[in-house]
Amino acid sequence: MMYSRIIGTGSYLPQKIVTNNDLEKMVDTTDEWIVERTGIKQRHIVAEGETASSMGIVAARNAIEAAGIKNNEIDLIIAATTTPDKVLPGAACLMQEGLDLPGVPAFDISAACAGFVYSISVADQFIRSGMYRTILVVGAEALTCLVDWEDRSTCVLFGDGAGAVLFQASKEPGIVSTHLHADGRYKDILTVSSGLPTQYKKDDPPYIRMKGREVFKFAVTALGDVIDETLAHNNMSRGDIDWLVPHQANQRIIAALAKRLDISMDRVILTLEDQGNTSAASVPLALDLAIRDGRVQRGDKLLLEAIGGGFTWASALVVY
């Protein structure tokens, strides 16, 4: 049995930080409201010239260094992003150039905040089939480029950053199972109107628009169900998971899922307070943090989950 094993992780956060107090000066909000409703205190924001690919390249270099492999051992690059630098070329190709890996296949996966978990599922299929041995998966988002800084219901939520994970074929586990879902009927509760020039509407610029309460309800139910599905698929019980590595959208959503999993909040990796919601970057950023600070140890069972616009949602059971 061949597994996709994590051999290195890395991350990058932009230097510029916007605190809740900074936002109080921009829109009608308070630090107290944001912390109480979301758990977020600050977020990192891209500087001029910083992009999903430029952040992804730094995160990838950190992951390569942590894995102790040579660049040229990488067989495939997958970039999970909703905010590629350009419509084309894709962010993965720009990362490939930056990492000096000409010829290595590279493509983007666009599944909003669930993009990273979707991407590791794709990587896992390539490794299990024997087609590739070493795959770089990067979640990278310059999400604040899509934020309407006059809309208090969304501008307090999002941040930028990149996380990278290197997977390699191994007899040791590994990604154990992945579970992917989507439902386009919910397309209107979280959306960005097209950024394509011919579809651009002056009265509806391409900003994130979200019906927060509906998204919240949908997220709690869908993620709870996919967690149950993951446990049942692996004949596991609540409490068998060592660490929950969740998408960082809202502390209250995460707390509801921890309860469903019957694990205490100190077994949940949280970056929300410092990073906000970085979409497809949030799970790899959390994973890298917990591996580097020593909380996650080899052999630990991790449950990764994420949900985003589409709607798309997914989970993965991973043994580190």
Annotated catalytic residues are 113, 247, 277
Is residue 308 part of the contact set for ligand ACO (CB under 6 A)?
yes
Q: Can you give the three-state secondary structure of 184-233, one letter per residue?
A: HHHCCCEEECCCCHHHCECCECCCEEECHHHHHHHHHHHHHHHHHHHHHH
* 90 vs 276 by CB, closer to ligand ACO: 276
Residues 176-195 that bind ligand ACO (CB under 6 A): 190
Smallest gap from residue 276 Cβ to ligand ACO (A): 10
H-helix segments, the chain: 20-24, 31-38, 52-67, 91-98, 115-129, 152-155, 212-233, 251-261, 272-275, 282-292
The distance from CA 196 to its chain's CA centroid, rounded to whole angstroms, is 24
Rounded-to-integer distance, Cα 292 and Cα 288, Å: 6
Rounded to 10 deg, the angle between the 31-38 and 251-261 helix axes is 20
User: Is the CB of residue 143 less than 8 Å from the CB of residue 278?
Assistant: yes
| Binding-site size, ligand ACO (CB under 6 A) | 24
Find the residue with minimal CB distance to ligand ACO: 212
249 binds ligand ACO (CB under 6 A): yes
* 39 touching ligand ACO, by CB under 6 A: no
Report the half-sphere exposure of 132 (CA within 13 A, side-chain side): 24
Residue 315: in which H helix or E strand, if any? Answer: strand 312-319
Closest CA to 300 of 255, 247, 240: 240
Smallest distance, ligand ACO to C-beta of residue 279, A? 5
Binding to ligand ACO (CB under 6 A) within 135-164 occurs at: 152-153, 156
Cβ closer to ligand ACO: 27 or 69? Answer: 27
Residue 10 parent element (H or E): strand 3-12
* Residue number with CB closer to ligand ACO (132 or 216): 216
- Asked if residue 114 binds ligand ACO (CB under 6 A), the reply is no
Nearer to ligand ACO, 112 or 176 (CB): 112
**Least separation in angstroms between CB 105 and ligand ACO:** 28
Nearer to ligand ACO, 76 or 257 (CB): 257
Taking CB under 6 A as the binding criterion, the range among 31-39, 58-66, 172-180, 259-267 that sits at the site for ligand ACO is: 31-39
Task: Note the residues at the interface with ligand ACO (CB under 6 A).
Answer: 29, 33-34, 37-38, 112-113, 152-153, 156, 190, 212-213, 215-216, 219, 249-250, 253, 277, 279, 307-309
